[in-house]
Structure 1
Amino acid sequence: MVSKLSLEEFLNKSFGLTIKDKNLFTKAFTHSSYKGCNPNFKGDYEKLEFLGDSVIGLSIASELFKRDISLGAISTSKDQIVSGSSLAYVGRKLDFHNYIRVGNSCCVISDSIIEDVYEAFIGAVYCEFGFETARKIVLSSLWNYFLMGELDFYFDYKTKLNTLVGQKYKGKVTYTLIDSFPSKDGSTTFKVSASWNNDSLSIGLGTTLKKAEQAAAQDALNTYFPKYK
């Protein structure tokens, strides 16, 4: 039986990175739930995730800017490419799920965790190797899968709902966070209400606010505009 590579070996083999700050990259692959079962816990990926999100966004926006497309197309394409489902897909293709550390309370490594780890990894690369190296990795992974047509872009239910409501009525649909609670996989589930003219249209659940809003918009479309597709 062939033993699994260490995280350091895996990143060197996959990306050609010779890591000096091992703790930095260990954090990038550590979920907050790991703290409860390890006395040597040295931090999780949350701050690196925040940083990586910006690096990914700038890298993708720069590539789209080079193309002969409108500002609206750039914005829409960027949102789709850096969506949670896209990042999770790429993270799984890169085998990140085999190196993520989670606690006993988090028995399932969900797509939302893999998405976060991909962002945190890019953040860690930026911290140790700089923007250019981080950008190249984003392009060789996320951007490359986009060019190959492998990313499963989501349908933008919010935009569609606002368009249809605007055509038939006045005003815009608004979204309000009603509640949030922990899920079994260690992530947070958000509960959002979609409203128009102070009347609640639907409720949506999701592991991020954006996903919950999209779910609420989808439910409203199915209820009030069943022929929208």
Structure 2
Amino acid sequence: MSPAEFTDYLKENYQIDFDNLDLLKEALTQRNYLNENPKEEGRDYQRLEFLGDAIMQASVTEYLFKRYPDWDEGQLTEMRITMVQTKSFAHFSKEIHLNEAIRLGKGEEMSGARQRPSLLEDIWEAFIGALYLDQGQAAVVSLLNQTVFAAIDTNFFDQFIDFKSRLQEKLQTKGTVDIDYTIEDEERNEDNSQVFKVSVAVDGRILAYGFGSSIKDAEKAAAQQALVDLAE
């Protein structure tokens, strides 16, 4: 996607219209591209990434603080960590097609860098930094409301949460307990795919059951259900 096509896409889909297109170009430029194009003016994305990282941390922190008034510091911190990570940012980079607009060196292009999670995380943060400098915090929040914050309502971030560790921490606040995950059943669907049923028990007492296409997924689902039941 050319820079012109990408700016048109941003206007049409996210109501983002950059005043300083050099900032946008910088956010989308990898160092190897500049090395291979010595006549090209400007910087790579790294300085904007530094800024964007701080902007994301602050924006997510404020959003969670206001959205979950009953959560304690530990819960807020864990959710922020879950939201502000490589897999998450890589997903949202693709959602707004940043990956298609990155200016890459030929070697990086051939190596598949356009789909590399670590690069997509960096470019997301650089883009946020550029948007902040160009249009301010309100524009950043508007974009996040349409992407990152909207994903909370779809349980998108559940896939990144370690429910087993969270359950263990909750159950061991008053001392050590024995937590056991047991395969209770294994079935096959009509399409021949496996479904595991796993129970989670503490000191021999079953708290909840979970189902999944793998034992790991079923254990995670059981821990998640146990946390929900304990909260109620």
| TM-score, scaled relative to structure 2 | 0.63
Amino acid at match of 1:154: F
2:75 is aligned with 1:73: yes
2:139 is aligned with 1:133: yes
Offset at residue 131 of structure 1 (A):
1.1
The residue that corresponds to 2:130 in the other structure is 124
**For the residues of structure 2 that align with 1:4 and 1:126, how far apart are their CA atoms?**
19
Query: After TM superposition, what 4+ stretches of structure 1 lie above 4 angstroms from structure 2?
Result: 2-5
CA-to-aligned-CA distance 1:50-93 (integer Å, 9 cap, x gap): 11111111111112112121110000000001111101011112
CA-to-aligned-CA distance 1:168-212 (integer Å, 9 cap, x gap): xxxxxxxxxxxxxxxxxxxxxxxxxxxxxxxxxxxxxxxxxxxxx
The residue that corresponds to 2:107 in the other structure is 105
**For the residues of structure 1 that align with 2:57 and 2:2, how far apart are their CA atoms?**
35
**For the residues of structure 2 that align with 1:155 and 1:134, how far apart are their CA atoms?**
25
> What is the aligned counterpart of 1:82 among 68, 84, 89?
84
The residue that corresponds to 1:61 in the other structure is 61
The residue that corresponds to 1:144 in the other structure is 150
Q: Which moved more, 1:146-155 or 1:17-26?
A: 146-155
Q: Higher helix proportion, which one?
A: 2
Report sequence identity in percent.
Answer: 25
- Does the Cα contact within 8 Å between 1:88 and 1:118 map onto a contact in 2? yes
Give the number of the structure whose alpha-carbon radius of gyration is greater: 2
**For the residues of structure 2 that align with 1:41 and 1:3, how far apart are their CA atoms?**
17
How many residues are aligned here?
165
Local SS of the residue matching 1:106: helix
2:9 is aligned with 1:10: yes
Local SS of the residue matching 1:18: coil
- Does the Cα contact within 8 Å between 1:81 and 1:146 map onto a contact in 2? no
CA-to-aligned-CA distance 1:201-224 (integer Å, 9 cap, x gap): xxxxxxxxxxxxxxxxxxxxxxxx
Within a 5 Å distance, the mapping from 1:3-42 to structure 2 comes to 6-39=5-38, 40-42=40-42
**For the residues of structure 2 that align with 1:143 and 1:14, how far apart are their CA atoms?**
17
Superposed CA RMSD? 2.9
Within a 5 Å distance, the mapping from 1:203-218 to structure 2 comes to none
Amino acid at match of 1:82: V
